[in-house]
Structures are given as C-alpha cells and as structure tokens.
C-alpha cells in the first residue's frame, strides 16, 4: 500500500511540475506563456520625469492586458497608467526603484519582467536676486506719527532726531522666491546689503554711526503690502531666527553674504513675508543705513543668493 501511495505521489508531482513549466496544453498543443520585457534599467536625475515602456510577445494570440506595479522603492510614486504598456511615473524621490511589468495573453497566460530605475538627486541650483525698484520694499518711519516712505532710496535701522523730535526707522523688503519648489532643500542663502554712499539720514555724512548700532535681520511672520503697511501696523517677526550684525565703528561697511538660510528656508516651504532690519537697541543716536532697490547704482541694491536642490 505504501508503495502504491509513493508511486501516486510521484506521478502527481511530475504532473504538477510539467503543468507549471508548460503552463497549458490545448488540443495537444503546448501553450507557452507570453514574454514580457520591461525595458532597460534607467538612471535619471531629479526633477526629470520618468516613463516606463514595456513590450510583450505571445504565440497564443494577442496581448490583452498589462499591469505595472511597484516592487520596492524609497517611497510610493504615482503610476499614471498602470494598465498600459507605457506609463508616466511621478512623485519620485532620490533612491532606487524596482517596477514589475506583467502581461496577459489571449490564452490567459501571464509573463512578467522587472526594471530598475535609479533616481539621483537634482543638481544644485543657484538663484541670484538683486531687483531694481522692488515693489515689495518699504522704509518704515515714525516721527510725529507715521513717517514711512514707500519709494525711498534708503533702508535703515535708525534712532535719531529731527528738529529735536525722535525719529525711528526700520526697513522691510521681500524677494520673489516663487521659482524655488516648495519641497526644495535650501543649501545656502546669503543676503548682502550695501552702505548708502550719500546718506540722507543720521548725520548726513556717515552710513554707520553711534555707540551701539548693532543691527538685527529678521524674518517677517505676517503678510503686508507696500501700499498699506505703516509703522503702526507693521507685522511682527520671528525673534528666534534673527541674525545679529555686531556694532561697527566703521562709517561705511557693506554687509556681504550674511547667512540667512534659517530665515529663507521657511519662506520657501511656507509663507514668504520677507525680511525686516532694525536696530537691536533703538536708542538715539545710532544708525545703520543701506541703499534700497531704488538707489541709482544697481550694484548696491539688496541682493539675495540661494542655492538649493
């Protein structure tokens, strides 16, 4: 009895093996599964798009179905046309993906192939901004009430007097960062401000003056427009990320390539309300005076250079 059972088991195993290898037999004709080809392995660099294109052949008639699917990857991308031989794939990130391409022929048999796609990080991009007549720029002032100038050639952190009455000024400006993708990684952000060569504030001679003219560069945290902002309704700032520019005894001192990465990154990923400059200690007589984007010498306009991926 055991011998008979072993013989039956062996015959069943042979039968299953033959069926699995040959897939199907119809009218004594062996039907082989279709051959799928997912295409060559690919290497792309963000932000390039990806297209997967597969082909298939069958001896059993037409190919009647296709299916693209993800096997592995650093995230789950969007396969836009998974049931087509060719499909676009989006929402990719740096890393290696493996996709499966399955086909079904007229006999109901299937064939599969896989393809590997390596996605490299995007190249480092550089954005250099130094606009003239920047519409998003204002020289805030308070002297016997609001004294703001919306088209001034100067931007200043200033605590002075005029006619014996205290005068305070601050500057606000923002750059157009809309060309940077919101999911970009900000690598560096450098801000440059240039001392006003012909001062119209302070002692009318020196761009920098006073015993404590330490300057703050801050990220503005609420929306504003040049036409409506005043000293009284000026928006607040993020004190935690402010950049402190130490006091200087130099009468003219350009601020070149100040690191403002921690201010710019949230401007790109969230809301861009720009920068504010002001004295740390607004006590008369102290001043730091810079050229605005309306100054005649374009090389002295506020400048922001950003590198990102």
Express each pLDDT in 142-172 by its tens digit.
999 999 999 999 999 999 999 999 999 999 9
Close Cβ partners of 117 (under 8 Å, ≥ 6 residues apart): 41, 42, 43, 44, 50, 52, 89, 96, 97, 98, 99
Choosing from 96, 121, 146, the residue where a domain stops is: 121
138 vs 19 pLDDT, higher one: 138
> Both 42 and 142 in a single domain?
no
Q: Is 89 exposed, middle or buried (0-12, 13-18, 19+ CB in 10 A)?
A: buried
Mean pLDDT lowest for which of 11-25, 46-60, 138-152? 11-25
Average pLDDT of the chain to the nearest whole number: 91
pLDDT band with cut points at 50, 70 and 90 for residue 216:
very high
Is 285 among the domain residues?
yes
Instruction: Determine the pLDDT at residue 28.
Output: 60
> Both 180 and 204 in a single domain?
yes
The pair of structure tokens assigned to 246 is 């130490």
The pair of structure tokens assigned to 13 is 């195993």
The pair of structure tokens assigned to 284 is 């008369």
Is 21 among the domain residues?
no
> Which residue bears the tokens 């392995």?
41
Distance between CA atoms of residues 208 and 203, nearest Å: 9
Flag whether pLDDT at 22 surpasses 50.
no
Instruction: Determine the pLDDT at residue 5.
Output: 33
Contact criterion met (CB below 8 Å) for 261 and 275:
no
CATH, residue 46: 2.60.40.10
Flag whether pLDDT at 4 surpasses 60.
no
> Both 278 and 217 in a single domain?
yes
> Both 188 and 304 in a single domain?
yes
> Both 142 and 115 in a single domain?
no
> Both 54 and 166 in a single domain?
no
Instruction: Determine the pLDDT at residue 48.
Output: 87
Cα 242 to Cα 19, 73, 248, 280, 298, distances in angstroms: 73, 39, 18, 10, 27
Nearest one of 184, 193, 171, 168 to 256, comparing CA atoms = 193
213 vs 9 pLDDT, higher one: 213
Flag whether pLDDT at 8 surpasses 50.
no
Mean pLDDT value of segment 185-189? 96
Question: What is the length of the chain?
Answer: 309
212 vs 7 pLDDT, higher one: 212
Is 249 among the domain residues?
yes
Mean pLDDT value of segment 184-211? 96
Choosing from 71, 97, 121, the residue where a domain stops is: 121
Structurally, how many domains does the chain consist of?
2
Is 16 among the domain residues?
no
Q: Report the percentage of the chain scoring pLDDT > 70.
A: 91
Instruction: Determine the pLDDT at residue 10.
Output: 35
Instruction: Determine the pLDDT at residue 211.
Output: 97
Choosing from 68, 95, 121, the residue where a domain stops is: 121
> Both 62 and 134 in a single domain?
no
Instruction: Determine the pLDDT at residue 18.
Output: 35
Q: Structural domain of residue 60, as residue ranges?
A: 31-121
Mean pLDDT value of segment 290-297? 98
Instruction: Determine the pLDDT at residue 16.
Output: 34
pLDDT band with cut points at 50, 70 and 90 for residue 129:
very high
């Amino acid at each position: 009895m055991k011998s008979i059972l072993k013989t039956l088991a062996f015959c069943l195993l042979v039968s299953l093996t033959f069926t699995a290898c040959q897939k199907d037999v119809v009218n004594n004709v062996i039907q082989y599964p279709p051959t799928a080809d997912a295409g060559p392995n690919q290497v792309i660099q963000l932000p390039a798009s990806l297209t997967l294109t597969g082909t298939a052949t069958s001896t059993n008639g037409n190919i009647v179905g296709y299916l693209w699917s993800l096997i592995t990857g650093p995230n789950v991308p969007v396969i836009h046309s998974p049931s087509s031989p060719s499909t676009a794939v989006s929402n990719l990130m740096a890393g290696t993906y493996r996709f499966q391409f399955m086909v079904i022929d007229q006999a109901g048999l299937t064939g599969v192939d896989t393809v590997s796609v390596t996605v490299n990080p995007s190249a480092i991009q550089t954005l250099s901004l130094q606009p003239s007549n920047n519409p998003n720029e204002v020289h805030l002032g308070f002297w016997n009430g609001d004294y703001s100038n919306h088209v001034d050639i100067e931007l200043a952190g200033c605590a002075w007097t005029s006619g014996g009455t205290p005068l305070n000024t601050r500057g606000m400006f923002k750059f157009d960062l809309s060309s940077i993708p919101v999911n970009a990684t900000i690598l560096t952000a450098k801000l440059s401000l240039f001392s006003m060569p012909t001062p119209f504030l302070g002692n009318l001679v020196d761009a920098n003056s006073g015993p404590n003219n330490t300057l703050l560069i801050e990220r503005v945290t609420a929306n504003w427009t040049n036409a409506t902002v005043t000293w009284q309704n000026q928006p607040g700032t993020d004190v935690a990320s402010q950049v402190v520019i130490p006091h200087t005894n130099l009468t003219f001192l350009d601020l070149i390539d100040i690191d403002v990465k921690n201010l710019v990154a949230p401007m790109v990923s969230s809301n861009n309300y720009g920068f504010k400059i002001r004295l740390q200690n607004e006590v008369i007589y102290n001043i730091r005076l810079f050229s605005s984007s309306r100054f005649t010498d374009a090389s002295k306009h506020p400048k922001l250079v950003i590198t990102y991926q």
